Structure 1
Amino acid sequence: MAKINWSKVVNYRAREIQIHMPGCPTHYTNVQRAMDTLKNPAFWMFVVAVVLINTFISPRNLDNWGGFIRVTGIVSVAAVMYVSCHVGLLYLHARLFSEKRTVVYYPLFWIFLIVLVVVSFVVWMAPILEPYDVPNFNIVHEMYPVVLTRLMIFEWLFYCFFLPIIEKRGATQGIETVVLGEHTLKVLDILYVQVMEHHVCIYKKEGELVERSRFRDLMQILNDIDGVQPHRS
């Protein structure tokens, strides 16, 4: 049997990406879902909470109003950089491994590089804090292990607890199902549909499903769902 080149079957934005975080259930996503998560206000509430915790964790950051504002501003920009790096790496995984059916992403592996980028930025911005005598913003190798440890904890909490809540709330706003034969399928679980002679093969995250049906009948069902635009390709 010839090996399938999945880049010709599934667009990179829909390529399944498995996120493996130790101690957490495997998280399934793709580039499009990652972008949808960024549009969720709850996600940015989590980011704001992380920024505030990292700002208030050092009492000296509160010694004067000017120093507090500048520290909060720098940490906020660093947080956006951190999120952007993760999203960029998800995009690169989907692009560079386009021939594979499933791509695996390890946040705790890439966090070492991302934190180095973020800490380097913070240290580079440190001169604007000198008049306020703000600590721990001067040397990369002193700041790196502290920030790395904190962000590993936040990363683990995010994938184990917070992200499932975000996705569950988003899903409950418009879960749609498709009834095909004796099977009821969630639209969001369908990766793609392949038509064969007198059969339709549906590829899901859990595996494959072959059903005796006409492809045009399934397309007619999907046409009635908001936000879904089925087409032959």
Structure 2
Amino acid sequence: MTIFVLTGAGISAESGLGTFRDPGGLWRRFDPMRLATPEAFAREPEEVHAFYNLRRRGVREAEPNAAHAALARLEAGLAARGGRLFLCTQNVDDLHERAGSRAVVHMHGELMRARCTACGASRPSAEDLGLGTACPACGRRGGMRPDVVWFGEMPLHLEAIGDALDAADLFVAIGTSGAVYPAAGFVARARAAGIPTREINLAPSDTAGLFDTADYGPATRAVPDFVAEILGEGPVSGSRP
């Protein structure tokens, strides 16, 4: 069995990391056009660095929750049975990896990496970035940016993601708003291919009507229940047909 799981900000919310579009979310408090575009970085790099340094500190302080741990267990359980979990995340945090997931596809990049705007080199970077940060590859200062996908930039790994989605036996979206494309279109693509679809979320997403089944509630309850169901470890609670 091959399961394609797409995760969004909702899976990390119970670890203390803010979501984006919900009331009180990051984009309700901060203007993304001033902080999350290449133009913003060129215009106000110090302000952009300050925002992402704050977010990076938040990720360092956060711990994976039961939902992250359950998906790591699902990956191992499917592999032991000859199956596969394709874990695609819209999140830029590293909580999936720290929970034990071994293969995570970050379609929006990784906050714990930095990329040089001059030479394109990318490297792990859990510390604050600033105008004085030098690129370890070319030595240039001032051009190191968070290695995340900003508004106006193309998401990463789209070909591999599309191939994995088309080959899946089940598509599951966890903690996503259904408002950000191309990820919001994955459920329609799965349905068109005849792949069963399932939503796990705190509340119905913008694309809730396209899912065959859904579990609504905290991710730390709903995701472990889902994993237990798939691995045959016990009944799942709170689902609707």
- TM-score, normalising length: structure 2: 0.25
Going by fraction, where is strand more abundant, 1 or 2? 2
Structure with higher RCO (Cα < 8 A, 6+ apart): 2
Greater fraction helix: 1
Q: Give TM-score scaled by structure 1 length.
A: 0.26
